[in-house]
Amino acid sequence: MENGRIIQVEDKVPFKLLVPLSIQHLFAMFGASVLVPFLFGINPAIVLFMNGVGTLLFIFVTKGKAPAYLGSSFAFLAPAGIVISEMGYPYALGGFVAVGFLGCVIAGIIYKFGSDWIDVVLPPAAMGPVVALIGLELSGSAAGNAGLLEENIVPQNAIVFFVTLGVAVFGSVVFRKFLSVIPILIAVVSGYVAAVLCGIVDFTEVAAAPVFALPNFQAPKFSLEAILIILPVILVITSEHIGHQVVTSKIIGRDLLRDPGLHRSLFGDNFSTMISGLIGSVPTTTYGENIGVMAVTKVYSVRVIAGAAVISIVCSFVGKLSAMIQTIPGPVIGGISFLLYGMIGASGIRILVDSKVDYGKSRNLILTSVTFVTGLSGIVVKFGNIQLTGMVLACIVGMALSLIFYVLDKYHLTNDQE
């Protein structure tokens, strides 16, 4: 670590280093993950609990070979919001359970028939821009969290944002030895101190919070109507999951789609979502912010991820600590996300470079161009209560084009073969 070497997936990390590295992952996912329960109108403590439990389940299912932190999924916001407004949150939980169960079934199908089809439906010329879009389409939310998209920017927010981003950027470049692997944590602490000095941190909720408190567990209710409204999200989260596994594979230098296998990671992801619905939490998904942390720090140890999961579970039962973490202001989260989302975008470009995509071939140029423009155009395609836009829509368009090119190849109708 002192020599800047990579800490691989199976490497052990001493306890004195494990704690700060784990807290760094917790802070990276916290802002986005806690936003979902706020939008659903539930206490975030149950989400912190399930994020930790879901992450540990994922690590167990993938045999400790796929470093990933599970946080709250944004893909369910629109359809679940409809169900909550019309029927109540328990019926949305029933929908979460149904989606998680269907995802586990899909994982079983992939286990039976394999994942080689991914190379056909998403070749590097299409996969690269899809992965890049995971980060690029979130870039606006980073600036939004920081309050930099407002008509009148609050100076204090800008100061905290630039302090956080500056420490993260320059710390990643100039920090040495152990500090070089915790630049995100140092940036969060620096940004938080700056926020306190600027007077934008409110400690009222911390003072009012109990020392210990149980998360608000609740059981789901099932309605066929609610399930049908939420069920189409399976297409979105499956595309997102594949993209995350591909970019993580590129970062750590291993093919996670083959070992431990897409079927295991997809099952772990969806099994966590199913359990979330059964206990009253929100659906979970592998988190891009934590993928970005691994890209910056070159620490891929699954033990660090597991440590972050345990800390998240502990926080869910400690009322004061949970409330304290919730006081981290938007400009701090925005400053960190600004860098991490960009790292994911760069990982998509890296896929194109590492795969040596030949843009002398028309198909590759078309696949990359159309996929990028579709994802960044803002086009929204709606099917009932589900909408496809951004990375997911780009993924579907890229898959459709790739399949058409594959069929044309079979009948020797493409000029690439000449």
pLDDT band at 39 (very low <50, low <70, confident <90, very high): low
Give the model confidence (pLDDT) of 164-200 as tens digits: 999 988 988 888 777 776 787 888 889 999 999 998 8
Residue 1 pLDDT > 60 = no
Tell me if residue 66 falls in helix, strand or coil: coil
- With a CB cutoff of 8 Å and minimum separation 6, the contacts of 172 are 180, 183, 296, 339
Give the model confidence (pLDDT) of 128-168 as tens digits: 888 788 778 777 777 887 788 888 888 898 999 999 999 98
Q: What's the average model confidence in pLDDT over 263-286?
A: 95
Q: For the stretch 123-148, what's the b/e string if a residue is b when 16 or more beta carbons lie within 10 angstroms of its beta carbon?
A: bbbbbbbbbbbbbbbbeebbbebbbb
Would you say 272 and 241 are in contact if contact means Cβ atoms under 8 Å apart?
A: no
Residue-level pLDDT at 265: 95
Residue-level pLDDT at 368: 93
Q: Which pair of structure tokens corresponds to residue 343?
A: 């790292």
pLDDT band at 4 (very low <50, low <70, confident <90, very high): low
Q: What's the average model confidence in pLDDT over 45-59?
A: 93
**CB-based burial label for 412 (10 Å; 0-12, 13-18, 19+):** exposed
Residue 213 pLDDT > 80 = yes
Residue-level pLDDT at 271: 97
Give the model confidence (pLDDT) of 102-130 as tens digits: 999 999 999 998 877 777 888 888 888 88
Residue 250 pLDDT > 80 = yes
Average pLDDT, the chain: 85
124 or 325, higher pLDDT: 124
Give the model confidence (pLDDT) of 15-36 as tens digits: 888 889 898 888 777 766 776 7
pLDDT band at 53 (very low <50, low <70, confident <90, very high): very high
Would you say 330 and 213 are in contact if contact means Cβ atoms under 8 Å apart?
A: no
- With a CB cutoff of 8 Å and minimum separation 6, the contacts of 337 are 31, 32, 138, 141, 142, 145, 289
Percent of the chain with pLDDT strictly greater than 90: 32
- With a CB cutoff of 8 Å and minimum separation 6, the contacts of 385 are 78, 79, 82, 229, 232
Residue 261 pLDDT > 70 = yes
Residue-level pLDDT at 197: 92
Q: Name the DSSP letter for residue 150.
A: S
390 membership: H or E segment, kind and range? helix 390-410
Residue 3 pLDDT > 70 = no
